[in-house]
């Protein structure tokens, strides 16, 4: 049994990681300020004697210090995760995503944590026009959010090289799943489409619908984090976490309408500033070094999500 800290543990992805770790027999502390996470996401583990929830904020260093004590591994998910919100509030983005992450790295170093696995993002590929994104080929970033994730990767590699703190970064592509909050204006496109379709509202696409995304189920993402902690031997590296399949937003909207059988229309609006046009993961490095491959197809994942969301 290993001892884990999961920051952002009440969030959409963090709570799934907590559940998988508890199911594997590990001991877990979840740290979250509940600004976007929800305690009900942890209902399945909250009463488990190997689980503990701590209310706290990663921007406070003392909180991070205490949370990292006697932990073998830290899985860092706490973040401001919205590109549009980061554009609206760049200082807040910097405070949470850069300062907060450095707090976690330093607290992990001081407490001699075995490894820090952290969430990066496909947003670091920026204006790279390659249809398939390779880890070594980042572009010019298009938002404060993307810049903060690139800075996090640099800090993690520095802590590995300078302080010998093992780190692994996971560049998430578009993560979806049942706990994604559709009530937030900054939520993922899938949860927004489901909310609209199930309430008989037209689906709105920004742009002409041709932009592509690589959608990966939250269960697969959580599994990638576990593998990065327990099996990855390469410190200071980053890995694409996606399926390797590109889906256009128009295709996605049509699939959601087919699954929900909603009788609504797809409508179009002007494209948004900061949106990446093409995003699909080259998954070879993750396959070879993490032994990770996504197992849940988009259609199966959306069907499961629809079953959870329908009244």
Burial 272-283 (b: 16+ CB within 10 A, else e): eebbbebbbbbb
Burial 227-256 (b: 16+ CB within 10 A, else e): bbbeebeebbbbbbbbbbbbbbbbebbebb
Instruction: Give start and end residues of each alpha helix (H) in the chain.
Output: 12-23, 61-68, 83-88, 90-94, 100-110, 144-163, 189-198, 218-230, 249-260, 284-285, 298-309
CB 235 within 8 A of CB 44: no
CB 48 within 8 A of CB 22: yes
Distance of alpha carbon 171 from alpha carbon 94, whole angstroms: 18
Instruction: Name which of 105, 29, 103, 118 is nearest 70 in CA terms.
Output: 29
Q: List CB contacts of 15: < 8 A, sequence separation 6 or more.
A: 9, 30, 37, 41, 42, 179
Q: Is 159 considered catalytic here?
A: no
CB 14 within 8 A of CB 3: no
Length of the chain as a residue count: 311
User: Which of these is catalytic: 73, 118, 125, 145?
Assistant: 145
By annotation, the residues acting in catalysis are 145
């Amino acid at each position: 049994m290993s001892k884990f800290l999961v920051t952002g543990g009440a969030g959409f992805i963090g709570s799934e990681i907590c559940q998988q770790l508890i199911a594997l027999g590990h001991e877990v502390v979840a740290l979250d300020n509940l600004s976007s996470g929800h305690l009900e996401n942890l209902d399945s583990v909250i009463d488990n004697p190997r689980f503990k929830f701590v209310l706290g904020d990663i921007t406070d260093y003392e909180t991070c210090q205490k949370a990292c004590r006697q932990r073998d591994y830290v899985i860092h998910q706490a973040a401001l995760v919205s590109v549009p919100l980061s554009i609206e509030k760049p200082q807040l983005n910097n405070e949470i995503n850069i300062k907060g992450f450095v707090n976690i790295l330093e607290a992990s170093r001081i407490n001699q944590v075995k490894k820090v696995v952290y969430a990066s993002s496909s947003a670091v590929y920026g204006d790279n026009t390659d249809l398939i994104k390779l880890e070594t080929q980042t572009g010019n970033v298009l938002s404060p959010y993307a810049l903060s994730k690139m800075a996090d990767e640099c800090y993690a590699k520095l802590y590995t090289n300078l302080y010998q703190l093992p780190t692994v970064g996971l560049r998430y592509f578009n993560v979806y799943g049942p706990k994604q909050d559709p009530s937030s204006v900054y939520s993922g496109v899938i949860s927004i489409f489901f909310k609209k379709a199930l309430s008989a509202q037209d689906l709105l696409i920004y742009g002409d619908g041709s932009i592509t995304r690589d959608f990966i189920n939250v269960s697969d993402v959580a599994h990638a984090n576990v593998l990065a902690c327990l099996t990855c031997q390469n410190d200071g590296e980053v890995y694409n976490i996606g399926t390797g399949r590109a889906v256009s937003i128009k295709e996605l909207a049509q699939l959601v309408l087919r699954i929900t059988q909603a009788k609504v229309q797809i409508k179009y609006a002007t494209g948004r500033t900061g949106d990446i046009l093409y995003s699909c993961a080259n998954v070879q490095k993750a396959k070879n070094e993490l032994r990770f491959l996504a197992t849940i197809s988009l259609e199966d994942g959306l069907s499961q999500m629809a079953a959870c969301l329908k009244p």
